[in-house]
Amino acid sequence: MSERVKLDTEQEQASIESSMRRLLMFEGPSEAFIPAMLQWQCSLTEAEGGALLRVNRDQAVEMVGAHPATLLAPPHPPWVNQAAAQVAEVMRTAQTRIEPVEAVPTFYGRRAEQAVVLLPLRGEGAVRGVLAFCVSGADEAQLERHRERLEFSAGILMLYEMRLALRHRIADSRRMRQCVDLMAKLNQNGHFKAAAMSFCNEVAHRWSAHRVSLGFARGRGVRVEALSHTEKFSRKTKLVRSMQATMEECLDQDLEVLHPGGPEAATVSRAAQGLAEQHGPSIVLSLPLRQTVTDRNLVEEISPGKSLGRGALEQGGATPFAVLTVERPVDQPFEATEVEMLRLTCELASPRLLELYRTDRWWGARMALDARRLGAAVVGPRYTWVKLAALLITGILAFALLGRTTETVSGSFALQPRSQAIVAAPFDSLLDRVHVEPGDDVLAGQTLLAELDTLEVRNRLAGVVQRQRTFEQEATEALREGEVERAELAQLRAMELEPEIDLLRELESRGRIVAPVSGRVISPSLREVEGTAVQRGQGLFMIASVEQLEVELLIPERYIADVKVGQEGRLAATAYPTQPLRFEVVRIAPAAEVLGQINAFKVEGRLLEDAPEWLKPGMEGAGRVEIGRASYAWVWTRDMVNWLRMRLWW
């Protein structure tokens, strides 16, 4: 019996190894690989089924593949729904999870213990999906063996993807090498006819085409310039005329035209259909050759009469100038990779073919072309922007030299009240309550600003008053007993406490801080510091008179020589830049102040108009003093000229 079990085990291992080798050498698409891999993984663990789940862009769980295939269609077994609910958590933690599955009735009425194993599928530095398997396991050891086998087998998918990516890269490198080889042969020819013939022959050879033609735009149509394996041909033949019609059809649409192209094709292919049926049967593919150009004359040269070329020039795109038509037997349809290679080949060959087409002409054609370019440069629109730029520069210079404007000197300004008072704390205490806010108007001797905590002062006053009463009672008792000297001494001590009592009562009354002057509160709010300690002499409130505001303008030292008393200017507050104010210079400080790294003079001024309601003390902005009339050229170059004078002592 043991030999029988051993033989079955060896056969099972051989079958597993054979399946693994087939998966490692699998060459089919991923749609077929995933079910095969799931089937093999299910056989490893005798799982009831397996599925590959992932979260799509709509944050919904979808099933990519499953074994058996019946799991793809609803209704799904309970373990699939349970796995779908755990997908997001497994992808977040990137850890394998084993969850028990509720027992389900078997065919014989018994209940089997099952578990779902969830494995994160890693790739490209992130978890891309989850593998879910429903396995049977009565103990943890058996479930652990299933987990190890499944984790080991999950790497086969990554190997398949790596092998698939490597195969694509090898194919891409082969295609690129093929295109480079074709370009190398094209560049060996220094004449257009030879290069065009070589290009058509190489394309026909490499893409197994029985006929390849190359046509260039000429006038309002296309002219065939080269035909594969044909050195001389007549353009009057029906075949060549059909080719030219096919090329014109492609050039007009500026799109690749394939016939037959299928019902979903969005291009017109009537001419290509005529070429394929009358001179075939064959499959016809036409590709436009484009070149990005910026010269309108060149666009007219390579695509004359074509609005498509002018539109590409205006939009900054590529202009089609030629068409390559490839014809193959009907039993060899074009694959997507072949069309892509042909497209890349045309893009690489376009500059060389266009250069040879334009330059490899007889001397008369070249002279006519040069004469046309020269005439276009003189009277045509080729240098339109250069001419407009020259006219614009001339106009700007004339305007700068002849035009005159008001010269100004700029500086920053701040509005300051003519008079202001600082209210300080009369003694050390706690700020008990604040009654005003910034912007409130106050009246001298009437408006209560704040209240200080006078508990300590009142306690001290009560103690001194009690001591005074004690001395007075002592003096009264001494007089009653006839001790005149002791009575006079007690009365004298009571009188000595009068100044201290008066001082404490004065401090108690000064605990109610009243506005000393009329004006507006401009200091920050003290609401947030209520209940905190203040020291004697500490500034609490700043009250400014808002009836008259003064302008303090800071003018840099290099401009102060042009500023004079009596000059007028404009102010633009930062808060209201669209409402300028007129002012007049009334005083210039005799000494400069250092502000940052420059010297500036303080210029005082007064407003020439009634202050608006929004104007408040402390507002800042920019001001300009009008110092006279000058040309625009001097205004624009004044700073540079003065800098040169300082450096050159001019």
Query: 482: which 2 tokens?
Result: 């006839």
- Shortest CA distance to 592 belongs to which of 620, 558, 625, 617? 558
**Residue 35 contacts residue 66 (beta carbons within 8 Å):** yes
Domains 2-167 and 548-648 share a fold: no
According to DSSP, residue 529 is labeled: G
- Shortest CA distance to 497 belongs to which of 462, 532, 542? 462
Neighbours of 240 (CB within 10 A): 17
What's the fold here for domain 189-368?
Beta-Lactamase (3.30.450)
CA 461 remoteness from chain centre: 70
Give dist(CA 439, CA 618) in Å, integer. 12
Q: What is the pLDDT of residue 6?
A: 47
According to DSSP, residue 561 is labeled: G
DSSP 155-168: HHHHHHHHHHHHHH
- Shortest CA distance to 409 belongs to which of 234, 628, 196? 628
Token pair 């790497």 in the structure block, residue: 155
Amino acid letter for position 534: V
Q: What is the pLDDT of residue 95?
A: 83
The architecture that CATH gives domain 419-453+511-544 is Beta Barrel (2.40)
Residue 49 sits at φ, ψ, to 5 deg, of -175, 165
CATH class belonging to 2-167: alpha beta
Give dist(CA 369, CA 352) in Å, integer. 19
Q: What is the pLDDT of residue 504?
A: 73
Give dist(CA 75, CA 12) in Å, integer. 33
Give me the residues of the chain with pLDDT under 70, please: 1-17, 19-20, 24, 28, 102-112, 123-127, 137-138, 262-263, 293-317, 369, 372-383, 418-419, 546-548, 650
Q: What is the pLDDT of residue 325?
A: 92
Amino acid letter for position 636: W
Measure the CA angle with vertex 621, ends 615 and 622; round to 5°.
Answer: 130
Token pair 């290679």 in the structure block, residue: 341
Q: What is the pLDDT of residue 477?
A: 83
Q: What is the pLDDT of residues 414-447, one digit of tens each?
A: 877 766 778 787 877 777 788 788 877 778 777 8
CA 605 remoteness from chain centre: 47
Give dist(CA 245, CA 271) in Å, integer. 6
Indicate the Cα dihedral angle 187, 189, 193, 198, nearest 10°: -70
Number of H helices, E strands in the chain: 16, 24
**Residue 319 contacts residue 291 (beta carbons within 8 Å):** yes
Query: 63: which 2 tokens?
Result: 């099933």
- Shortest CA distance to 623 belongs to which of 580, 588, 586? 580
Residue 603 sits at φ, ψ, to 5 deg, of -110, 120
- Shortest CA distance to 358 belongs to which of 480, 209, 195, 233? 195
Give dist(CA 585, CA 220) in Å, integer. 75
Indicate the Cα dihedral angle 77, 82, 84, 90, nearest 10°: -140
Token pair 């009592």 in the structure block, residue: 501
Token pair 């912007």 in the structure block, residue: 439
From residue 514, alpha-carbon distances to 143, 150, 506 in Å are 86, 86, 14
Structural domain boundaries of the chain?
A: 2-167, 189-368, 419-453+511-544, 455-509, 548-648
Query: 297: which 2 tokens?
Result: 């004359």
Give dist(CA 143, CA 135) in Å, integer. 8
144 contacts: CB under 8 Å, gap ≥ 6: none
**Residue 515 contacts residue 444 (beta carbons within 8 Å):** yes
Alpha helices in 447-539 (DSSP H): 455-481, 484-496, 498-510
Give dist(CA 433, CA 530) in Å, integer. 6
DSSP-based three-state secondary structure for 356: helix
Residue 323 sits at φ, ψ, to 5 deg, of -135, 135
- Shortest CA distance to 355 belongs to which of 298, 294, 286, 314? 298
From residue 101, alpha-carbon distances to 76, 111, 115, 116, 118 in Å are 14, 12, 5, 6, 12
CATH superfamily of 548-648: Efflux pump adaptor protein, beta barrel domain (2.40.30.170)
DSSP-based three-state secondary structure for 503: helix
The beta strands (E) that lie in 448-531 are given as 448-452, 512-514, 519-521
CA dihedral over 601, 607, 608, 614, signed as positive or negative = positive
Alpha helices in 403-452 (DSSP H): none
Amino acid letter for position 202: E
Amino acid letter for position 622: A
